[in-house]
Amino acid sequence: MNNHIRSRQFWLIVLVISALLMSAVAVTVMAQDDEHDDEHAAETVEHDAEHDDEHAADHDAEHDDEHADEHDAEHDDEHAADHDAEHDDEHDDEHDADHEADHGDDGHVADGRALFVELGCVACHGENAEGTEIAPPLAGLTDERIRQQVRAPINIMPVFGPDVLSNAELDQLVTYLTGLPTEDLEHSHDEHANAGPFRQQEKIIRRYWLALFSLAEGDIDEAIFNIEQIDAVVIAQHKAKTQQILLDLSDGNLPGARAAIQEALAGLPVTDESSDDLRIQLARFALLEEDADAATHDLQQLTGMDDVIGLIEAGDFAAAQEAFDEALVSLGASLGGDAEHVHGVDDDHGDGDDHDGEHDDEHSDDGEHEHSDEHSDD
What percent of the chain has pLDDT above 90?
50
Dist CA 44 CA 224 (whole Å) = 104
pLDDT digits (tens, 9 = 90+) for 207-223: 999 999 999 999 999 99
The domain limits of the chain are 122-189, 196-341
Q: What is the DSSP letter of 158?
A: P
Average of per-residue pLDDT across 2-23 = 63
The pLDDT of residue 38 is: 56
The pLDDT of residue 282 is: 96
The pLDDT of residue 357 is: 39
| 122-189 under CATH 1.10.760.10, yes or no | yes
- Pick the more confident residue, 145 or 57: 145
Environment class of residue 278 by beta-carbon count within 10 Å: exposed (0-12), middle (13-18) or buried (19+)?
buried
Q: Which residues of 345-371 are buried (b: 16+ CB within 10 A; e: fewer)?
A: bbbbbbbeeebebebeebebeeeebeb
Q: Which residues of 306-316 are buried (b: 16+ CB within 10 A; e: fewer)?
A: eebbebbeeee
Please, what is the average pLDDT of the chain?
Answer: 75
What percent of the chain has pLDDT above 70?
57
Dist CA 186 CA 194 (whole Å) = 18
- Pick the more confident residue, 341 or 94: 94
Average of per-residue pLDDT across 153-162 = 92
Is pLDDT at 69 greater than 80 in this prediction? no
Average of per-residue pLDDT across 339-349 = 43
Is pLDDT at 136 greater than 70 in this prediction? yes
Average of per-residue pLDDT across 111-121 = 94
Is pLDDT at 329 greater than 80 in this prediction? yes
In whole angstroms, what separates CA 363 from the centre of its chain?
Answer: 8
Is pLDDT at 377 greater than 50 in this prediction? no
Cβ-contact 313, 226 below 8 angstroms: no
The number of CA neighbours under 13 Å toward the Cβ of 6 is 3
Of 33-37, 90-94, 228-232, 308-312, minimum mean pLDDT range: 90-94
Environment class of residue 45 by beta-carbon count within 10 Å: exposed (0-12), middle (13-18) or buried (19+)?
exposed
The pLDDT of residue 18 is: 65
- Pick the more confident residue, 74 or 316: 316
Query: In terms of Cα–Cα distance, which of 332, 339, 213 is closest to 272?
Result: 339
The pLDDT of residue 344 is: 44
The pLDDT of residue 345 is: 47
pLDDT range class, residue 33, cuts 50, 70, 90 = low
Is pLDDT at 366 greater than 90 in this prediction? no
CA 93, 97, 98 angle in degrees (round to 5)?
Answer: 115
How many helices and strands in the chain, by DSSP H and E? 12, 0
Distances (CA, A) of 164 to 122, 167, 323, 351: 17, 10, 46, 10
Average of per-residue pLDDT across 9-32 = 62
pLDDT range class, residue 372, cuts 50, 70, 90 = very low
Average of per-residue pLDDT across 318-324 = 96
